[in-house]
């Protein structure tokens, strides 16, 4: 039976550390500020935005939120970003994705100043992650690395397999593992004989977005299994990519969904905002 990796516990710990550091910064006259921008009525996005605002409050940040109607034009959104770029109360700008189809998400991401890009999606920050001289790490992969660190799981010299190659999860996840000296394989929908690759993994990370996708036959005995997926079962309940019931009997450590990687993403967003505020003081 595996040990459950408790993302709620780790994220609470990290947010508490951030709150303490923020208190000290505030005493020196600097309050970290995060702007969260939501365009449209996506209900899941609204929940994410609400959670981000609550985390800002908990950490003692200044937060500003902008809930714009679905018909907002790209020009209007870019105008708001320009104003937030120039606002020195704001150290981080997060535009909640997905954006409505008539807005070019790449143009929006590029418009955010790299030093305020706390999602780390701007091409400059993506490139810096590749080079290993980053200020911010993308929140979800960084959250996974923090979970591993908290539980004392080293990836150095070990076989790590990432399923999924998206720009926001799979690719940066692989890069962070590589920076920590793992031997990394990235799998995707064209990978031949996926199970034979995943069975090699000492650490298996799934970011696919399909319920019960990772089954026991795909997992090596004693592997660490990290489930990034967020899906809904037929019963409407949240679940990950991993068939938790069976895989948890074979893995040494496993993240549940909910309560695993999810809470870490917001904690790392808070970490990036604090870093952005600290860096603004130095510039
Ligand atoms: P995405 O852009 O849809 O990428 C999914 C990846 O899975 C793609 O690279 C795809 O391969 C691969 N894939 C699909 N079917 C496959 C198959 N049969 N075999 C092997 N690989 C397959 O999704 P994403 O944005 O990375 O997100 C992945 C999951 O993580 C989603 O459930 C999302 O909701 C969740 N997520 C969670 C958090 C969090 O905070 N916990 C944050 C972000 C995302 P191809 O590239 O070949 O199509």
Domain boundaries, the chain: 29-114, 139-262
Mapped onto helix, strand or coil, the DSSP state of residue 97 is coil
> CA 138 → CA 143, 243, 250, 270, distances in Å?
8, 26, 30, 12
Enumerate residues 6+ apart whose C-beta is below 8 A from 14: 146, 264, 267, 268, 270, 271
Domain spanning 139-262: CATH superfamily = NAD(P)-binding Rossmann-like Domain (3.40.50.720)
Q: What is the pLDDT of residue 17?
A: 98
Q: What is the pLDDT of residues 151-173, one digit of tens each?
A: 999 999 999 999 999 999 999 99
Give the C-alpha separation, 105 to 92, whole Å: 17
CA nearest 206: which of 186, 176, 226? 226
- Ligand 1 pocket, 189 CB below 6 A? yes
Atom of ligand 1 nearest to the CA of 170: 26
Task: Tell me, using a 6 A CB cutoff, whether residue 261 lines ligand 1.
Answer: yes
CA of 122 to the centre of ligand 1 (A): 20
Predicted confidence at residue 283, as pLDDT, reads 62
Centre of ligand 1 to C-alpha 255, Å, is: 17
29-114 and 139-262 in the same fold: yes
Alpha-helix runs per DSSP H in 180-261: 194-198, 244-247
Label residues 243-277 b or e (16+ Cβ within 10 Å = b). Answer: bbeebbebbbbbbbbebbbbbbbbbbbbbbbbbbb
* SS3 label, residue 187: strand
**Class at the top of the CATH hierarchy for domain 29-114:** alpha beta
Measured by CA distance, the residue closest to atom 31 of ligand 1 is 209
Q: What is the pLDDT of residues 169-208, one digit of tens each?
A: 999 999 999 999 999 999 999 999 999 999 999 999 999 9
Q: What confidence score (pLDDT) does residue 74 get?
A: 98
pLDDT at 44: 87
Q: Which residues are catalytic?
A: 52, 96, 119
Give the per-residue pLDDT at 128. Answer: 97
Ligand 1 centroid – CA 227 distance (Å): 11
pLDDT of residue 282: 72
Query: Mean pLDDT across the chain, nearest whole number?
Result: 97
Percent of the chain past pLDDT 90, that is, above it, reads 96
How many CB atoms neighbour CB 218 within 10 A? 24
Q: Which atom of ligand 1 is nearest to the CA of 163?
A: 21
**Minimum mean pLDDT range among 22-26, 74-78, 203-207, 232-236:** 232-236
The residue assigned the tokens 């993308």 is 138
Q: Which of 98, 138, 140, 169 is the pocket-test mutation for ligand 1 (most atoms within 8 Å of CB)?
A: 169
């Amino acid at each position: 039976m595996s040990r459950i990796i408790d993302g709620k516990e780790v994220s609470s710990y990290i947010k508490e550390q951030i709150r303490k550091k923020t208190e000290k910064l505030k005493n020196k006259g600097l309050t970290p500020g995060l702007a969260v921008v939501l365009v449209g009525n996506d209900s899941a996005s609204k929940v994410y935005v609400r959670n981000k605002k609550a985390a800002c409050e908990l950490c003692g940040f200044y937060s500003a939120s902008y809930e714009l109607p679905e018909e907002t034009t790209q020009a209007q959104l870019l105008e708001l970003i320009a104003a937030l770029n120039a606002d020195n109360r704001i150290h981080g700008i997060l535009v909640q994705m997905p954006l409505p189809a008539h807005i070019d998400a790449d143009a929006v991401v590029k418009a955010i100043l790299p030093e305020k890009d706390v999602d780390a999606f701007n091409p400059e920050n993506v490139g810096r992650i590749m080079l290993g001289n980053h200020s911010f790490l993308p929140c979800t992969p960084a959250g996974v690395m923090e979970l591993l660190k908290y539980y004392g799981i080293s990836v150095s010299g070990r076989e790590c397999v990432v399923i999924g190659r998206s720009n926001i999860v799979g690719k940066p996840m692989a890069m962070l593992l590589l920076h920590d000296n793992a031997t990394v394989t990235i799998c995707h929908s064209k990978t031949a004989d996926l199970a034979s690759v995943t069975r090699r993994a000492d650490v298996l990370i799934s970011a696919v977005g399909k319920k019960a996708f990772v089954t026991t036959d795909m997992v090596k005995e004693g592997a660490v299994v990290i489930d990034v997926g967020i899906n809904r079962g037929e019963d409407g309940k949240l679940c990950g990519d991993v068939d938790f019931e069976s895989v948890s009997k074979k893995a040494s450590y496993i993240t549940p969904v909910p309560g695993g990687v999810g809470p870490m993403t917001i904690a790392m967003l808070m970490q990036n905002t604090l870093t952005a505020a600290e860096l603004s003081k130095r510039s």
